[in-house]
Amino acid sequence: MSYTLRINSIFLTIKPLFSMKTTADKKADLAGPGISTYQEVEKILPNDYKPLLQPLERMNALYAVKDYIEKNLCKELNLSMVQVPLIVDRDSGVNDYLDRDGSRTPVDFPCGLGLDKPIQAQVVQAATKWKRMALAQFNCKAGQGICTDMRAVRKDYFLDHDHSSYVDQWDWERVITADQRNLDFLKEVVIKIWKVIYGAGKHAQKLYPKLKTGNYPDFPEELKFFHAEEILEMYPDLPRKQRETKILQEVAPAIFIIGIGSVLKDGYPHEMRAADYDDWVTPTVVKKGQQYYGINGDILVWNPVTKRRHELTSMGIRVTKDTLKKQLMISGQLDFLKLPYHQAILNDKIPLSIGGGIGQSRTYMYLLRTAHLGEVSVTVWPKALKEICSKRNIHVLE
């Protein structure tokens, strides 16, 4: 017995395995990053925090990490650093909507003084779609790719210790062949990315020995892979973020979760994921008689400073014309197919690819052992949050 539930334009088949409270918790946990109240933020920030580096020293360490990651990411994945847009044409379909429930919308504004019809521009939320189109613009061949020092604005985030409206990412994309659209290839790329992040942490410790402290465990050298279905099987009654927390605490402090966006055995996706870039419907392996889906995922780590789950990157093998249509149908967004970006996929104008976005400030926060994004980036924070941080010896940059 099952029934169909609509969650913000997405129809999910929900099996009645859970109490009403658990079902409500899981539904609420599908999207919308951030803790949601400053009372909760106050509970989770560390009470005994002592920054390992002073602000200026931290900035020097930050740029050493930045330089290391950019050089070695390009080396490992055969990428070239390129320029990236801060604004795009609203009608191009290139902007990233981050999820598929419509809850996170871009900043819109008209521009072009003297034009009879101003350009309707948007500030990018991520360069996910632009990068794939840019592969053709830069004439990248199979095995070649691009990396960007991307800046974005995401106005619909709750502002807490690891979510801000200002976003900086290494947004990268690489051309692949049809036979590379599989789980093994995805894992090979993920391992190379983790090698770079781990290496950046060790590089920072070498340059700034204060970062290597007995107060925190060292960075894990090994990253372990789990499909979202496997994590659900381990913790069937927990919402997504609690499942992630448990596996990072109990199984491995650095993991890659495969198959984010596909509907799992309990009737819910692990997390909402946009329908028009990562491929989360392609079948991969069968385990215990159950088909697993998705050739995408996230790297998460256990942050010993905040004592919380900490997401570093989302990435995946991108949709084909067939999986694009399938995912847009599931998400109730088939009208997107008329947009230039989607037309380019349908008409084979842009290559098959794999790509992702590595959060820069999130990575600095993890590697430089800070308790708040505001210690490694400058943006706006609410007065209530700054007051809470000040009480905890956390001093954000302004």
Cα separation, 32 vs 104, in Å, equals 8
Question: Which two three-digit tokens encode residue 322?
Answer: 């067939």
Strands 290-293 and 79-82, how do they pair? Answer: unpaired
Provide the residue type at 87 as one letter: I
Q: Give the pair of three-digit tokens for residue 310.
A: 């900490």
Residues annotated catalytic, as ranges:
96, 154, 169, 298, 311, 314
Q: Residue 110 falls within a domain, yes or no?
A: yes
Averaged confidence pLDDT in the chain: 90
Q: What is the pLDDT of residues 255-291, one digit of tens each?
A: 999 999 999 999 999 998 889 999 999 999 999 999 9
Let me know if residue 263 belongs to a domain.
Answer: yes
Query: What confidence score (pLDDT) does residue 10 get?
Result: 41
Quick: pLDDT tens for 328-365: 999 999 999 999 899 999 999 999 999 999 999 999 99
Residue 396 belongs to a domain:
no
Domain interval for residue 235: 3-391
Tokens of 319: 């949709």
CB 372 within 8 A of CB 394: yes
Element of type H or E holding 362: helix 360-367
d(CA 363, CA 357): 11
* 13-22, 205-214, 281-290: least confident range: 13-22
Q: Which of 375, 366, 321 is nearest to 348 (CA)?
A: 321
pLDDT band at 322 (very low <50, low <70, confident <90, very high): very high
Rg (CA), the chain: 21
264 within some domain: yes
Range in 40-49, 64-73, 176-185, 292-301 the model is least confident about: 40-49
- Say if 47 falls within a structural domain: yes
DSSP class of residue 37 equals: -
Distances from the Cα of 234 to the Cα of 56, 199, 240, 251, angstroms: 44, 31, 12, 11
Query: Residue 67: what pLDDT?
Result: 98
Q: What is the mean pLDDT of residues 70-83?
A: 98
* Total count of domains within the chain: 1
**20 pLDDT exceeds 60?**
no
Measure the CA–CA gap between 38 and 49, rounded to whole angstroms: 18
Residue 131 resides in a domain: yes
What pLDDT is recorded for position 3? Answer: 27
Tokens of 260: 């984010």
Residue recorded with tokens 């249509």: 325
Residues 91, 99: Cα–Cα separation, whole Å: 18
pLDDT at 78 over 90: yes
Residue 397 forms part of a structural domain: no
Q: What is the pLDDT of residue 14?
A: 37
Q: What percent of the chain has pLDDT over 90?
A: 78
Query: How high is the pLDDT of residue 30?
Result: 60
In a domain, 67, yes or no: yes
CATH number where 60 lies: 3.30.930.10
Question: C-alpha 395: how far from its chain's center?
Answer: 26
Least confident of 36-45, 71-80, 137-146, 221-230: 36-45
With 70 as the cut, is the pLDDT of residue 11 above it? no
Are 21 and 234 contacting, i.e. CB atoms less than 8 angstroms apart?
A: no
**What pLDDT digit, counting tens, does each position of 109-122 carry?**
999 999 999 999 99
Closest-CA residue to 256 (of 198, 314, 308, 196):
314
